Structure 1
């Protein structure tokens, strides 16, 4: 398909060539645990700022402060990055649709040859249906589609969150994705925020989704100084590489519960049915009494710190 930093610290996944984009784990895992789609944490002692780019360009190695009211989870044991999967089940029928805008660092030639890693039709559908959404974007995607990144980042209906720069895995054996060395993990996250800023995204959120959803304690520790919350999900849409939109819609509708986070993708070449799925599930969930919210609202409801 989870606290801000005083020192203003540096700054939906396509496994190499068509590998699935899903996995999840827990902050207590000692190795990566996988499910079926894509999902980090605030630093110890961090408050009222987040590793998000601002309108004023920052030094390449630092991340400007983010809005002070952005909710994040408190760090886990020993300051580990916290992980968020879903909101409270008893706080009303809310659901967050999240979309991974995946593009790996080496897919430029494929984009140049005509492959579409964007999905304007999906974004139009969300706007038409007035559905707020959280887009987990890779820095490479923002570089390839800067106008779209800027448009999403400045649209109050969306919030942009971090999905790494390279979309390389933060653990070994993550669906065939190349692996980020441990000493480069933090830099990869920071580099994505830099790409967002350069594209014109004014305030990316302090939320991070691990590529492939794969993480372990080592990865949580590596990014723990960034003040981000790792965001996973509790509903796997199954839209990655799917060709049966009705089957994907049924899977979403069967899985959603109050406070759910649904993981989908914003890449036409890898998730061609997602627009149709959204046009099916949104009116049905509304008929069932659900209200659509962004991840930030769910985290706030769950007691996130501001």
Structure 2
């Protein structure tokens, strides 16, 4: 309970600041994958999902958009690291002044460590960094998921984020998919993450026409505006269980220590026998 309260407090504080300034199947033996091996990239290109298309969940009661929060623990020691590439619709002037909402060195690290990952990208981010969006989308190690176009909230009172009107929610999601396409990004999966993680039945109903699966998480990294990489890593390592889905960020100005934290998280989880997968694989079991 103490750990849960600490994580919740960290998350609330971090996302509140984020809202103010920016508007988350193992084999039978559960074997570890070494960072120098090509096994992770091979798995990313040869998984059944790559052939059949990414899995989705069936709609909820009344046709509501389904919500996925973690994988099946019985499937083994798998874990999905996900990274939100946040940029709100109104932050172009800040980017023009030199603020960096990308984090190419983090993406490079994930490639070096061969960690399959899902990047939840806003459409505005893809517009600002089309070359990076295209490169991420062309790399079979990654998949791009939708984090809205605007990074505005889909509910009232969501950490101070501006709100998308209910009649505009589906349009906002579709606009993000269009931005990915215009950037030349491929390997885009039909998953959606609500800005701030905030949603209600009205939002789930509004997104039903998009036929996406909403993806949340069960482990909060606390990396938003954190200054202590070791604390972020420890929080993740304490929270991960078989089938866990971790939310982190791929935004240099908003999450400056994420790269350092990942350098600690990946080898330790592999030492414990975990295998890293994308959300599409986590959802397939």
Give the TM bin, normalised by the shorter chain.
0.7 to 0.9
Q: 1:294 aligns with which of 271, 274, 278?
A: 278
1:99/1:263 contact within 8 Å kept: yes
**How much has 1:67 moved relative to structure 2?**
7.7
Cross-structure match for 2:159: 175
1:145/1:67 Cα in 2 relative to 1: closer, same or farther (>3 Å)?
farther
Matched, 1:83 2:67: yes
Q: How many residues align?
A: 244
SS at match of 1:282: helix
- C-alpha distance in 1, partners of 2:52/2:146? 18
Q: 1:110 aligns with which of 89, 94, 113?
A: 94
1:240/1:291 Cα in 2 relative to 1: closer, same or farther (>3 Å)?
same
1:16/1:104 contact within 8 Å kept: no
Cross-structure match for 1:139: 123
Cross-structure match for 1:29: none
- C-alpha distance in 1, partners of 2:141/2:134? 13
**How much has 1:18 moved relative to structure 2?**
5.7
1:242/1:248 contact within 8 Å kept: yes
- C-alpha distance in 1, partners of 2:146/2:245? 16
- The RMSD of aligned alpha carbons is 1.4
1:18/1:189 Cα in 2 relative to 1: closer, same or farther (>3 Å)?
closer
1:272/1:158 Cα in 2 relative to 1: closer, same or farther (>3 Å)?
same
Deviations 1:210-244 (A, max 9, x none): 01110000000000111100000000000000000
Q: TM-score, structure 1 length as denominator?
A: 0.78
Q: 2:175 aligns with which of 177, 186, 191?
A: 191
Q: 1:240 aligns with which of 218, 224, 230?
A: 224
2:83/2:118 contact within 8 Å kept: yes
Matched, 1:98 2:82: yes
- C-alpha distance in 1, partners of 2:187/2:246? 23
- C-alpha distance in 1, partners of 2:234/2:188? 32
SS at match of 1:161: strand
1:16/1:178 contact within 8 Å kept: no
Gaps of 5+ in 1: 1-12, 20-37, 39-65, 302-306
- C-alpha distance in 1, partners of 2:53/2:88? 31
- C-alpha distance in 2, partners of 1:216/1:271? 27
SS at match of 1:136: strand
Deviations 1:69-102 (A, max 9, x none): 2200000001100000000111110000000000
Cross-structure match for 2:261: 277
Cross-structure match for 2:21: 17
2:221/2:232 contact within 8 Å kept: yes
Structure number with higher helix proportion = 2
SS at match of 2:73: coil
**How much has 1:203 moved relative to structure 2?**
3.6
1:135/1:159 contact within 8 Å kept: yes
1:253/1:285 contact within 8 Å kept: yes
